[in-house]
């Protein structure tokens, strides 16, 4: 309930997918703008970063679509590990941008 208005119900959990979705969209745009953050890495590191980013961004984009559903994919997208992977991926890109 927001401001005592029963017609405006919203759970605190509903805000989390939006923030993860906005972070994922920002990271995806940043990678489109500066692809050299990943391209300049040696092959083994590049593959690992692409796999990590694919999982982190994919889970963040899929979470709002799977919210309220049951199943392995919905649990994986809503897990704290997927949110931590998204934040970690963002930090890895920021570190890569700062260190060159």
Rg (the chain; Cα; Å): 16
- 3-state secondary structure string, 13-28? HHHHHHHHHHHHHHHH
pLDDT at 70: 86
| Domain boundaries along the sequence of the chain | 14-99
Pair 31, 93: CB distance under 8 Å: yes
The tens digit of pLDDT for each residue in 29-86 reads: 999 999 998 998 999 999 999 999 999 999 899 888 887 888 888 888 888 889 999 9
Query: Cβ neighbours of residue 61 under 8 Å, at least 6 residues apart?
Result: 21, 24
Pair 41, 52: CB distance under 8 Å: no
Tokens of 90: 């963002």
* pTM summary value: 0.76
Tokens of 23: 């972070």
pLDDT at 13: 52
Confidence of residue 92 (pLDDT cuts 50, 70, 90): very high
Q: How far apart are CA 87 and CA 23, in angstroms?
A: 8
């Amino acid at each position: 309930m927001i401001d005592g208005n029963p017609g405006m119900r919203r759970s605190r959990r509903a805000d989390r997918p939006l923030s993860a979705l906005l972070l994922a969209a920002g990271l995806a745009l940043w990678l489109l703008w500066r692809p050299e953050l990943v391209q300049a890495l040696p092959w083994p590191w590049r593959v690992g970063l692409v796999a990590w980013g694919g999982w982190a961004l994919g889970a963040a984009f899929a979470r709002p679509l799977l919210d309220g559903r049951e199943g392995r994919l919905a649990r994986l997208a809503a897990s704290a590990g997927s949110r931590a992977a998204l934040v970690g991926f963002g930090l890895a890109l920021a570190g890569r941008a700062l260190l060159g």
